[in-house]
Amino acid sequence: MKFTIYQESRIGKRKSNQDRNAYCYSRDALLMVIADGMGGHLHGEVAAQIAVQFIVQTFQSEATPTIADPVIFLSQTLNRAHSAILDYAFDKDLPEAPRTTIVACIVQDGDAYWAHAGDSRLYIVRRGHVVAQTRDHSRVQLMLDQGLIDAEEAARHPGRNRIYSCLGGSHAPQIDFSRRFALRDGDVIALCTDGLWGPVGDIGVIRMAGSNVMASAPRLLDEAEILGGKTCDNLSLITMCWHDDEQPEQADSVSTRTLALNDFTTRLDTFDRGRGATKEFDLTDDEIERAIAEINAAISKYSK
Amino acid sequence: MPPQANSPLPTGFQLEQYRIERQLSLGGFSIVYLAYDEDDTPVAIKEYLPNSLALRSEGDIAPQISAENMPAFRYGMKCFFEEGRSLAKLMHPNVVRVLNFFRANGTVYMVMQFEHGRTLHQYIQKHKGEVRERFIRAVFTRMLNGLREVHSHKLLHLDIKPSNIYLRTDGTPVLLDFGAARQTLLTGQAFLKPMYTPGFASPEQYGDRESLGPWSDIYSVGASLYACVVGTAPPRADERSKNDTLTSLSRTHSGRYSEQLLETIDWCLALDPLARPQSVYSLQKALMRKQPGEAMPATWFTDIGTRLKSFIGRA
C-alpha cells in the first residue's frame, strides 16, 4: 500500500477537546477513525476515547496483515465499542452512558469500506469531485432528504447539531455501512467532525481536499477555524491520498511494502498533556531491535 | 554525588566490524570514538552511555546499570534512537551522515561519517575577537543550508552551538549532534535534564515548549553568530527573560563588522520568537546580503548547485 496521510485535531475555542482521531496500518490494511464526544452529555471525551481506542486495538489484533472481512469487522467493532462505552458507564456508576459519534474507514486491497453513526463525515474526492460521502444521522439531513428545507437552510437550522444515532447513550446505534469502494490513484478520503465541515460546508471540504494532503489539510483546518470564529467547535480531520503502488515514492508518502507482517504503525491523538512520556517508559528488547532495524532501513533507503 | 566519568573502550578494541582508535569526545550522554572500518575508512562512532545511569570502570567493556536505573537507561536509549531516526533520513552535505546503527555491549552505537577538521568552537577560541565577517557569512550561509534540510523534514535541531558546527578542512560546515537536542524535548525527566548549553538555547527551551519552532533554532544560530563576534556566548535566555543584560551588538561592535550583520544577529536574538526571522531562508537572505540592495556573491549559489549535482550524481 502506498498513501499519504495527514491527521490533526484542534480544540477550536472550546475549553477541552472531545474529538479523538487515530489511524493505524499494517502492511496490507489501513484504518482511519474519528470520534466526536458529545458535549451536553457527561464525559463525551471518554466515550470518544473508548471508541477510538477499542477500534484501534481490535484492528491491531485482526489485521494480520489483512482483515478477513472489512464489513463484518466494522459492524462488530462499532457495536462492541458501543457496548464498551455502556460497560464503562456501568462500572463507574454514571447516571447515563457518555456518547460519541463515529466514522471509521478500512482500506485494503485497494478498496475502501466505511461505517458511521452520527454526524462525523467521510468524503471521497476524486479530481475535485465528491464520489462518495456519508449521510448524517441528523434530523436536518432527514428534512433535507424530504425536501422540507434546502442546503442553505440546513446550514443555519437551529437543530442542526441534533443527531439520532451515536455510540453510547441509551439507544442502540444505527450504523450505516458503505459498499466496497474501489480506490484510484489520487483519490482523497477525508474524515472529519462537524467542527470542520460545519464552517466550510461540503463545498469547502471538496474544494480544499487536494491530493497534496500535507499542504491542503492544514489549510482546510485553518479555514474552518477562521470561519468558526469565536465559538469555533473542536475540529478534526484525517485526509489520506491513495497512490498506486507503481507511482514513484513521494516525499511524505508511506509505503507499507517494507513493514513486517506483524508490525503496526499507529497514531492516536489524545490530549491529556504531561503523561505519555512516563507511560512508555519501558522499552523492551523487541522494541530496541525494531528501532535499530528501522533506522538501518532508513539509512540504506536514503543513501541509495 | 557528581556523576562519575566513564572510561572509554580501549584502543584497538574490535567493535563489530570497527576497530576503535581513540576517544574523540566525552559528553554526559555519550562517548564519541574515532574508529576504522574493515576498509580502514575512518568513522566516528557514538556510544550511548549516560554517565548518571551507566558506569563503565576501567577494564570493563559492558557498562553496569543498576536495576533501579534500567528504565531510565532504556528511556534515554529511546532518545538516542530518535537521533538515529532523524539523521538517517537526512542526506545533505552540511549535515552529518549516519552510516550504521547497532547494538552491542549492552548498549547501542551510531556510526557516522568521520570528518577532518575542527569545530567552530575551537576556531573561535583560536581566533578570539578576530573572526572575519566574510568567514562568518560564508560558514553560516552554508550551515543554514543543512538546517533548512533539517527543518524541511519537520525536525528541529535545538542544540545549535559552535561546538556542534564542524568545519571541514576545506572550510565547509557540517551540523553535528542531534541527540542532546531531542531528549530535551521530552520534558519532566530530571535525570536527563539540560543537555543544552546555556546561552545558546532559546527562551522557549526553558519555558514554554509549546512555542518551539524553527525560530528556536534561529535563536541558537543568532547566539552562535554572537559568539563569533564577541568570543563568548550571550547571557542565558532564561535570565534575559527576567532581566535582559544583553546590549545590542550594533551598539557595542559597530566598526569591525558591518551594521547589517550586527543587526541580523540582534534580530535572531530577540526574546520574542515572533520578532526573530521566522524561517531559515529569511535569515539566509539577510546573511547573503552585505548592504541593503547589494547582490549576494554568485559563488555561494553556484557552490550549492555543484554540491547538489555531485549529490545527485552519487545517487
Q: Give the pLDDT confidence score for residue B188 in this predicted structure.
A: 40
Q: Give the pLDDT confidence score for residue B11 in this predicted structure.
A: 92
Q: Give the pLDDT confidence score for residue B298 in this predicted structure.
A: 47
Range of the domain at A20: 2-302
- How many angstroms away from the CA of B233 is the closest CA of chain A? 32
Beta-carbon contacts of A143 under 8 Å, excluding residues fewer than 6 positions away, are A149, A154, A157
- Interface check for B78 against chain A (CB to CB < 8 A): the answer is yes
pLDDT 10s digits, B208-239: 767 888 999 999 999 999 999 999 899 999 88
Under the banding of pLDDT at 50, 70 and 90, the label for residue A261 is low
CATH 1.10.510.10 in chain B is located at: 117-302
Q: Is B29 helix (H, G, I), strand (E, B) or coil?
A: coil
Q: How many domains does chain A have?
A: 1
pLDDT 10s digits, A95-131: 888 999 999 999 999 999 999 999 999 999 999 899 9
Which of B69, B92, B103, B109 should we substitute to test contact with A (largest number of A Cβ atoms within 10 Å)?
Answer: B103
Residue B3 reports pLDDT greater than 80: no
Under the banding of pLDDT at 50, 70 and 90, the label for residue B4 is low
The more confident residue out of A196 and B176 is: A196
Least confident of B24-28, B102-106, B130-134: B24-28
What is the strand order of the sheet B173-175 is part of?
B117-119, B165-168, B173-175
Return the residue matching grid coordinates 484501534: A56
Under the banding of pLDDT at 50, 70 and 90, the label for residue B142 is very high
Helices marked H in A5-132 — which ranges?
44-62, 70-91
Q: Give the pLDDT confidence score for residue B26 in this predicted structure.
A: 76
The C-alpha atoms of residue A63 and residue A261 are separated, in whole angstroms, by: 10
Tell me which DSSP letter residue B3 carries.
P
Under the banding of pLDDT at 50, 70 and 90, the label for residue A91 is confident
pLDDT 10s digits, A130-148: 999 999 999 889 888 888 8
Which residue in B71, B84, B186 is closest to A295 by CB distance?
Answer: B84
Residue A22 reports pLDDT greater than 80: yes
- Interface check for A146 against chain B (CB to CB < 8 A): the answer is no
Mean pLDDT of A210-214: 83
B81 contacts in A (CB within 8 Å)? 291-292, 295
The C-alpha atoms of residue B291 and residue B259 are separated, in whole angstroms, by: 9
Q: Is B92 helix (H, G, I), strand (E, B) or coil?
A: coil
Under the banding of pLDDT at 50, 70 and 90, the label for residue A280 is very low
Q: What percent of chain A has pLDDT over 90?
A: 46
Contact between B85 and A298 using a beta-carbon 8 Å cutoff:
yes
Find the CATH number of the domain harbouring A75.
3.60.40.10
Q: Give the pLDDT confidence score for residue A48 in this predicted structure.
A: 93
Residue B187 reports pLDDT greater than 50: no
- Interface check for B190 against chain A (CB to CB < 8 A): the answer is no
The C-alpha atoms of residue A30 and residue B235 are separated, in whole angstroms, by: 50
The architecture that CATH gives domain B14-113 is 2-Layer Sandwich (3.30)
Q: Is B203 helix (H, G, I), strand (E, B) or coil?
A: helix
Which of A292, A294, A301 should we substitute to test contact with B (largest number of B Cβ atoms within 10 Å)?
Answer: A292
Under the banding of pLDDT at 50, 70 and 90, the label for residue A275 is very low
Q: In Å, how far are A32, A50, A135, A146, B163 from A117, measured between CA atoms?
A: 15, 15, 9, 20, 57
Beta bridge partners of A16: none
pLDDT 10s digits, B32-72: 899 999 999 999 999 988 877 888 888 888 888 888 788 77
Q: Helices B133-152 & B214-230, crossing angle to 10 degrees?
A: 160
Hey, which of A179-193, B156-170, B288-302 has the most confident mean pLDDT?
A: A179-193
Mean pLDDT of A260-285: 58
Which residue does chain A place closest to B314, by CA atoms? A304
- How many angstroms away from the CA of A67 is the closest CA of chain B? 30
- Interface check for A299 against chain B (CB to CB < 8 A): the answer is yes
Topology of domain B117-302, CATH? Transferase(Phosphotransferase); domain 1 (1.10.510)
Least confident of A152-161, A275-284, B108-117, B274-283: A275-284
Mean pLDDT of A37-48: 81
Q: Give the pLDDT confidence score for residue A42 in this predicted structure.
A: 66
Under the banding of pLDDT at 50, 70 and 90, the label for residue A40 is low
Q: What percent of chain B has pLDDT over 90?
A: 42
Residue numbers of A between 255 and 294 with CB closer than 8 Å to B: 274, 277-278, 280-283, 288-289, 291-292, 294
pLDDT 10s digits, A233-256: 999 999 999 998 877 767 677 877
CATH 3.30.200.20 in chain B is located at: 14-113
Which residue in B89, B90, B102 is closest to A292 by CB distance?
Answer: B102
Under the banding of pLDDT at 50, 70 and 90, the label for residue A43 is confident
Mean pLDDT of B7-33: 88
CB pairs under 8 A between A and B: 57
The C-alpha atoms of residue B245 and residue B263 are separated, in whole angstroms, by: 17
Count CA atoms closer than 13 A to A16's CA, side-chain side: 16
Residue A140 has phi, psi (to 5 degrees) of -60, -40
Contact between A283 and B77 using a beta-carbon 8 Å cutoff:
yes
Which residue does chain A place closest to B90, by CA atoms? A302
Mean pLDDT of A298-302: 82
Q: Give the pLDDT confidence score for residue B152 in this predicted structure.
A: 85
